[in-house]
Amino acid sequence: MESSLHEHLKIQALYWLKAKMTDLCANEVKLFVRRKQVKADAMGINIKRNEARIIEVKVSRSDFLRDEVLQAPYGYHAIAHYAYIMTPVGLLSSEEIPPGYGLLEIDDYDNITVKRNPKKNETPILTFDTLIKRTGRAATNAVLFQELSKETKDPTKGTYSKGAKVHLISATCPQCKKRKKYLVRVNEENTLCKVRACKHVIPLNKARVHTITSYNKTFYNQLSSLIKDPEM
Ligand SMILES: [Zn+2]
């Protein structure tokens, strides 16, 4: 699983690229190079300058050392015009950065410093059109995912989902068209619309259902012992 520091730095990398590249920026850009799938942490495109930059985030030395893509002939430095490795301050020395890459350091206050400039790659192995297309797709996905995650964000982050018996879902009633949240058993086929004046049956196999989170026996036991607490 991705660490929250990695996630944070990826977003900071995007802000930095946005200020520098202006036109099109995205995190997690999927690229296909010589039949290999490579995912760039952050990519920025400047159309007028005909330029693509990639930032690869590394938050630990082991993460840096085991990354085979960095030095490969299909690495980020070969894909874009410029490629950087971004790390917390002092994680890597300039000397150990692979040839071609720049080094960006980010401090505890999110200030980013260029420790080493990248070398320009005049002949990226992917065409500029492909880089634009891939970055555009990733940016579009990010927007759509944001919309979806507003509705389906799991506040428990799956804490009680192992061996779940009950789902918290959102579903739209075919009768009154109201989208509401429901607690239903796993594999439940129907539920009744919550709107008092409606009470229509919602067939869950037909409705566009989003599972927000799931609850298992552990959750039930913890919840009931807390509720039984005489202090409450
Ligand atoms: Zn209804």
User: pTM of the predicted model, to two decimals?
Assistant: 0.69
What pairing do the DSSP bridges indicate for beta strands 190-192 and 201-203?
antiparallel
pLDDT confidence of residue 146:
80
Q: How far apart are CA 212 and CA 228, in angstroms?
A: 26
- Percent of the residues in the chain that have a pLDDT greater than 90, as a whole number: 80
Residue 187's Cα: distance from chain center in Å? 29
Using the 8-state DSSP alphabet, how is residue 118 labeled?
P
Confidence band of 204 (pLDDT split at 50, 70, 90) = very high
Q: Convert the pLDDT of each residue in 207-216 to its tens digit.
A: 888 899 999 9
What pairing do the DSSP bridges indicate for beta strands 36-46 and 51-57?
antiparallel
pLDDT confidence of residue 199:
94
Distance, CA 184 to ligand 1 centroid (Å)?
16
Confidence band of 34 (pLDDT split at 50, 70, 90) = confident
pLDDT confidence of residue 156:
87
pLDDT confidence of residue 182:
96
Beta strands in 36-193 (DSSP E): 36-46, 51-57, 82-88, 102-106, 112-116, 166-172, 179-185, 190-192
pLDDT confidence of residue 145:
81
Per DSSP, helices labelled H in the chain are 4-21, 61-65, 76-79, 128-152, 217-228
Distance, CA 193 to ligand 1 centroid (Å)?
5
Does residue 1 register a pLDDT over 60? no
Q: Convert the pLDDT of each residue in 39-51 to its tens digit.
A: 999 999 999 999 9
Distance, CA 179 to ligand 1 centroid (Å)?
8
Distance, CA 210 to ligand 1 centroid (Å)?
17
Confidence band of 2 (pLDDT split at 50, 70, 90) = low
Say which amino acid occupies 41. Answer: D
